[in-house]
């Protein structure tokens, strides 16, 4: 506990409160080990402290002052936060909440250089943390994309400065031109009025994959909804919560709750499984602050949140033209393990005429994306991605359908890591596939969907970093 006592007084109170909350939740663990087979990091290492049971034991030991927090940080940081351990747990231990409380308590203790701490703080608090930060980032990204800076960066040694972000940035080079963020604005009024939904546009999604947001809006409109985009919404705060920036996450939740409070909409529709899970958990996030009037507002907000696949009925989709592709689907962890949605996306894919749907073995296992996990833990992330891509190739699919932004970007990296002779595979969001099929029925040229696997820059494929196995 030496590290904790070094913190200023107010911080110490906050740390103690979070550790206490984590400890109370951790007591529910009966150490039965049912969760171990579901855990991807345990599967990769076979180390007890890299599985949920071991991590919960470490949290308890820290909270009970039997272990220095620094001893537990490594195994807890190596957790993806995929929450696959939750559905597998007989007593229903709230592992996600334990992890969030632990990270909130220990974030200031994390060994980071001042420059890294400053970079994370700017990225999370300024860029993703404010609507104007997102707007500036979108403009800067558009300039970066069009200016040729990316080519310059990757054809020189400058890319090495970016570390694990370099490969991620390279993967994004294959994404089609983003739809101009400022022009993506629907406020369709129909007479008689149709059911109205608000589309949650997110943060990274809206900057680098805005064509997915546009495709989702077109599909919802074709399915009979009026679609509203609120300009006051911001990032959902999931990344902040998972990384221990709890206060910032709560601030962002409060802003979104306020932004949508005045919107006369039936549902708030999320197209990313991670965002949707966070929005649905706003009520839990603010539950430990019973003195605020945010609690009922958060519960009312969460009750209106739906995943994209929940508001579409596979039996009542608009007419669609044939999409002759072999498609597999990767579950979004937070869509599956938190929102418990598995059948809806699969039914929608199978409803597209011409699609040959193949089930991806291990689709319920994390691809290694995990918010910023592919930046903070690149070795484990790339190891899981390489195993995942082997499974995808074993299905013979030419398209991987996804339902979450980090998974989308992770699979773009997986496609980029293709070895010579391996077939090309496209990564498409479920909304893009539906949008494409609807456009084909109307006789419009098929949408220029997704990524162009051949368009990536010609640079050397980065080798997989080594991963420790016992
Ligand atoms: S399944 Fe649940 S109760 Fe059993 S060891 Fe894992 S977390 Fe603990
Ligand atoms: S959240 Fe995922 S990686 Fe972390 S302990 Fe649970 S199953 Fe393992």
Is residue 116 in contact with ligand 1, taking CB distance under 6 Å? no
The whole-angstrom separation of Cα 344 and Cα 429 is 14
Residue 269: what are its φ and ψ, rounded to 5°? -100, 125
For residue 64, the model assigns a pLDDT of 94
Is the torsion defined by CA of 253, 259, 264, 268 positive or negative? negative
What is the DSSP track for 403-436? -SHHHHHHHHHHHHTPPTTSPP-EEEEHHHHHHH
Mutate to test the pocket of ligand 1, among 22, 28, 30 (most ligand atoms within 8 A of CB): 30
H-type alpha helices, 163-261 = 165-172, 204-208, 210-222, 238-243, 246-261
200, β-bridge pairs: 270
For residue 460, the model assigns a pLDDT of 33
For residue 74, the model assigns a pLDDT of 93
List Cβ neighbours of 108 (8 Å cut-off, separation of 6 or more): 7, 11, 15
Is residue 13 in contact with ligand 1, taking CB distance under 6 Å? no
pLDDT, block means (10 residues), the chain with 470 residues: 46 81 96 97 96 97 93 95 97 96 90 84 88 88 86 79 81 72 48 83 89 93 90 90 93 93 92 96 83 84 96 90 96 97 97 97 95 92 95 96 96 88 91 94 61 36 40
Q: Which atom of ligand 2 is nearest to the CA of 80?
A: 3
For residue 299, the model assigns a pLDDT of 93
Nearest residue to 297 (alpha-carbon basis) of 308, 311, 286, 313 = 286
For residue 163, the model assigns a pLDDT of 78
CB 76 within 8 A of CB 19: no
- The ligand whose atoms approach the alpha carbon of 94 most closely is 1
For residue 116, the model assigns a pLDDT of 83
Cα 287 off chain centre by: 23
The model scores a pTM over 0.85: yes
Centre of ligand 2 to C-alpha 216, Å, is 30
Is residue 35 in contact with ligand 1, taking CB distance under 6 Å? yes
């Amino acid at each position: 506990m030496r590290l904790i006592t070094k913190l200023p007084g107010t911080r110490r109170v906050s740390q103690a409160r979070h550790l206490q909350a984590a400890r109370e939740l951790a007591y529910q663990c009966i150490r039965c080990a049912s969760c171990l087979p579901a855990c991807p990091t345990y599967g990769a290492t076979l180390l007890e402290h890299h599985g949920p049971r071991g991590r919960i034991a470490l949290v308890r030991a820290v909270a009970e002052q039997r272990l220095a927090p620094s001893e537990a940080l490594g195994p807890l940081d190596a957790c993806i936060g995929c929450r696959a351990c939750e559905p597998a747990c007989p007593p229903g231990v709230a592992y996600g909440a334990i992890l969030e409380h632990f990270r909130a308590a220990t974030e200031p203790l994390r060994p980071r250089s001042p420059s890294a701490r400053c970079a994370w703080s700017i990225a999370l608090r300024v860029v993703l943390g404010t609507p104007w930060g997102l707007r500036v980032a979108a403009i800067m990204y558009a300039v970066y994309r069009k200016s040729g800076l990316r080519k310059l960066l990757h054809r020189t040694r400058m890319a090495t400065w970016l570390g694990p972000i370099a490969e991620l940035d390279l993967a994004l080079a294959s994404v089609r031109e983003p739809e101009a963020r400022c022009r993506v604005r629907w406020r369709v009024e129909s007479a008689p009025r149709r059911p109205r939904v608000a589309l949650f546009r997110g943060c990274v999604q809206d900057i680098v994959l805005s064509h997915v947001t546009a495709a989702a809006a077109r599909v919802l409109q074709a399915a009979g909804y009026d679609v509203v985009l609120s300009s006051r919404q911001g990032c959902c705060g999931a990344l902040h919560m998972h990384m221990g920036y709890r206060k910032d996450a709560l601030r962002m939740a409060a802003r979104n709750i306020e932004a949508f409070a005045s919107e006369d909409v039936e549902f708030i529709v999320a197209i990313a499984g991670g965002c949707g899970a966070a929005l649905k958990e706003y009520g839990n996030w603010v539950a430990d602050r019973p003195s605020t009037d945010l609690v009922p507002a958060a519960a009312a907000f969460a009750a209106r949140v739906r995943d994209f696949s929940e508001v579409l009925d596979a039996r009542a989709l608009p007419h669609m033209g044939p999409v002759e592709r072999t498609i597999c689907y990767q579950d979004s962890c937070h869509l599956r393990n938190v929102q418990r949605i598995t059948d809806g996306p699969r039914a929608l894919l199978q409803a597209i005429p011409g699609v040959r749907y193949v089930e991806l073995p291990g689709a319920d296992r994390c691809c290694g994306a995990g918010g910023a996990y592919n930046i903070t833990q690149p070795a484990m992330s790339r190891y899981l991605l390489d195993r995942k891509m082997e499974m995808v190739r074993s299905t013979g699919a030419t398209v991987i359908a996804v339902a979450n932004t980090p998974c989308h970007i992770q699979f773009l990296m997986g496609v980029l890591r293709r070895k010579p002779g391996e077939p090309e595979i496209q990564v498409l969001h479920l909304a893009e596939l539906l949008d494409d099929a609807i456009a084909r029925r109307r006789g419009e040229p098929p949408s220029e969907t997704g990524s162009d696997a051949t368009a990536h820059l010609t640079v050397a494929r980065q080798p997989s970093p080594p991963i420790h196995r016992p």
